[in-house]
Amino acid sequence: MFYPTFRARRIRGKEVFRNMVRETALSTNDLIYPMFSAFGKGIRKEISSMPGIYQQSIENIVAEAQEAYELGVPAVILFGIPETKDAVGSDAYAEHGIIQETIRALKKEVPKLAVITDVCMCEYTDHGHCGIIKDGDVDNDETLELLAKEALSHAQAGADMVAPSDMMDGRVMAIREVLDNNGYKHIPVMSYAVKYASGYYGPFREAAESTPQFGDRRSYQMDPANRLEAVREAQMDVEEGADIIMVKPGLPYLDVVREMRNEFNLPVAVYNVSGEYSMIKAAGKMGWIDEERVIMETMMSFKRAGADLILTYHAMEVARLLHKGYEAGRAGRCGCP
């Protein structure tokens, strides 16, 4: 393809052509909105590093989830801030724990909205780690039992899907087994298959009050330098029965998203994490970037890298922009009927 026989600009010359040859589309059906459910009543507390994102008590979660549903966002993923924390994260699997009560309220009030739950211990343990501590480190196999209990209690409360984010080995199998043995064969597992030990989680730890009280998460989350290890991690989860595999964070790991897309034939999700959100919000506030444009370009980058689903704090904004018919040359079409 040589100039002047070939001219790449011919097909870019008209809006109608650009629309015809666009390779990637973004739809509201691709979006999953993360929410932080807090104990109490009348609570709606903005996360200082995440403008527009709140810790909310259940009735406010329900109201915002209703809004998300009406905008065409098909699913939310829930994180819980319990009243009390302890060494074994009891509230994570309590029948009337914060998440369990939030699930019940959502399934009652917004029944068609899919409720996904984050399955992990770090929001519920007083030490802030993702499992049970033994000899100064998280004990893998003891943690598995609690994760299975937690996932089961979410399913019993009515969760539509569970998403383990702890990075213990064997958790997908442990969760699949307990769900299958208790009448929840139909509940899918979306595995945080590839989760890096990342500085981009900083604002989330403020939002979920889940900062580790000693050490860090490097003995269970992945080394940002590794790509082949990501394939091994995902391979394990696929063999253990994961229904969707996730890569997290998103933007700094688009190569890994593409690797998943090429390597596996399961749906791939990407988590556009808190730090990625905060950076766009901060630069937008300063007037340094066109915020809407950068948000939509970021979403498109996930789709182009091969993601089917995007977990993003921008979900409500993105849905609104899609409905407004955000200029097709920058974004896609909305997924509404």
Catalytic residue, from 149, 248, 281, 303: name it: 248
Rg (CA), the chain: 20
Catalytic residue, from 41, 134, 149, 195: name it: 195
What letter represents residue 147's amino acid?
Answer: L
Written as six digits, the tokens of 233 are 């991690």
Written as six digits, the tokens of 88 are 């074994």
Q: Cα(94)–Cα(58) distance, rounded to whole angstroms?
A: 16
User: Does the protein bind ligand PBG through residue 38 (CB under 6 A)?
Assistant: no
- Number of residues this chain uses to bind Zn ion (CB under 5 A): 3
With contacts defined by CB under 6 A, name the span among 40-48, 114-122, 238-246, 322-330 that binds ligand PBG: 114-122
In the annotation, is 195 catalytic? yes
> For residue 249, what are the CA distances in angstroms to 16, 55, 221, 263?
35, 21, 12, 19
Of residues 213-232, which lie at the interface with ligand PBG (CB under 6 A)? none
CB contact at 8 A, 57 and 43? yes
For residue 325, is it left (φ>0), alpha (ψ between -120 and 50) or beta? Answer: left
- Number of residues this chain uses to bind ligand PBG (CB under 6 A): 10
Residue 201 binding target from ligand PBG, Zn ion, none, CB below 5 to 8 Å by type? ligand PBG
Nearer to Zn ion, 122 or 321 (CB): 122
Q: Cα(83)–Cα(39) distance, rounded to whole angstroms?
A: 6
User: Does the protein bind Zn ion through residue 120 (CB under 5 A)?
Assistant: yes
Nearer to Zn ion, 118 or 259 (CB): 118
User: Does the protein bind ligand PBG through residue 124 (CB under 6 A)?
Assistant: no
String of contacts with ligand PBG for each residue 263-302, x by CB under 6 A:
----------xx----------------------------
* 219: three-class secondary structure by DSSP: coil
Smallest distance from ligand PBG to CB 118, Å: 5
Of these, 81, 120, 194, 256, which contacts ligand PBG (CB under 6 A)? 120
Burial of 138 (0-12, 13-18, 19+ CB in 10 A): buried
Residue labelled with tokens 């988590």: 271
CA-wise closest residue to 111 among 57, 62, 49, 45? 62
Peptide bond into 249 cis (omega under 30): yes
Angle CA 280–283–286, to nearest 5: 145
Written as six digits, the tokens of 81 are 């801030």
Nearer to Zn ion, 75 or 120 (CB): 120
String of contacts with Zn ion for each residue 128-147, x by CB under 5 A:
--x-----------------
CB contact at 8 A, 324 and 293? no
Smallest distance from ligand PBG to CB 167, Å: 8
With contacts defined by CB under 6 A, name the span among 12-20, 91-99, 201-209, 230-238 that binds ligand PBG: 201-209
Smallest distance from ligand PBG to CB 137, Å: 16
Smallest distance from Zn ion to CB 123, Å: 7
Q: Cα(114)–Cα(243) distance, rounded to whole angstroms?
A: 15
Smallest distance from ligand PBG to CB 163, Å: 9
* 2: three-class secondary structure by DSSP: coil
With contacts defined by CB under 6 A, name the span among 4-12, 39-47, 115-123, 319-327 that binds ligand PBG: 115-123
Of residues 149-188, which lie at the interface with ligand PBG (CB under 6 A)? 165
* 164: three-class secondary structure by DSSP: strand
With contacts defined by CB under 5 A, name the span among 1-9, 61-69, 124-132, 285-293 that binds Zn ion: 124-132
In the annotation, is 45 catalytic? no
Residue 118 binding target from ligand PBG, Zn ion, none, CB below 5 to 8 Å by type? ligand PBG
The residues annotated with a catalytic role in the active site are 195, 248
